Amino acid sequence: MTDFAAIRNLFHITESCGFDVKELQPWISRYGRIPEVLKDYYVELGAHPQLNGSQDFLIKPKDLHQYKNDDYLIFYLENQGACVWGIRWDDVAASNPPVYENYGNEEWYQTSESLTEFLHAMAYFQAVISMEFSNEEYWKIDEHVVERIKLLLPSKQADSGLYTGVQFFGQAGEVIAVMNNHDGYLLMFSAEDEQRFDELHATLQRLVDGEGIGNQNEFD
């Protein structure tokens, strides 16, 4: 079985919260097989509502037939249908294949090198939306602020091509997401409790204002 410990810890999941493997059987029968990592994810974690539906959606087994594609096995959907994520048919026999992203045209972009990379990045993205305390509006930031964040805040080691590029930072119990934007970057952040969120908000405000550089011990 695939190790999803990091995702379980992020969402404090201690028990199985997936679909019965029988629910995947029509899909497996139709396509011959599905990647082992994807099957494990559906069976272990696929039915967790916050993990798989806070912002974007893991397609439920009963709905997979609605997303037929001649070249890709589509399994994840953006919340407004603006894009989908899938696996090339040529790769479905692999246990942990790359994931691709499509914005409603013929061109697909590689989002991640592997399913595990994609699922971990998506978990952090869902977390930054679903944690109890979060910034209500995206902050627009530039490259200089991104570099300050990299200097002073630990990486979650879950960066991905998701949404054409997103990086994740923060301590335990908080998530900071920095997304590529056409004219810069968008900053989102959240925390599990109010005190941690207020501290994180203050820290990020200092970085946006150009303060705090050189005071790395604050985050050791």
Structure confidence by residue, pLDDT tens digits, 9-60: 999 999 999 999 999 988 888 778 889 999 999 999 999 999 999 999 999 9
Q: What is the CATH number of the domain that holds 155?
A: 3.30.310
Q: What is the pTM of this model?
A: 0.91
The boundaries of the domain holding residue 182 are 131-219
Do 201 and 173 have their domain in common?
A: yes
Q: Name the domain boundary from 70, 101, 123.
A: 123
Q: What is the DSSP letter of 164?
A: G
Q: Tell me the average pLDDT across 89-110.
A: 92
Q: Name the domain boundary from 72, 101, 123.
A: 123
Do 23 and 47 have their domain in common?
A: yes
Distance in angstroms (rounded) separating the CA atoms of residues 76 and 66: 12
> Do 54 and 130 contact (CB within 8 A), yes or no?
yes
Q: Which residues pair with 174 in a beta bridge?
A: 191
Q: What is the pLDDT of residues 127-162, one digit of tens each?
A: 999 999 999 889 999 999 999 999 999 999 999 999
Total structural domains in the chain? 2
Do 142 and 96 have their domain in common?
A: no
Nearest to 38 by CA among 70, 76, 7, 6: 76
Do 24 and 115 have their domain in common?
A: yes
Do 9 and 110 have their domain in common?
A: yes
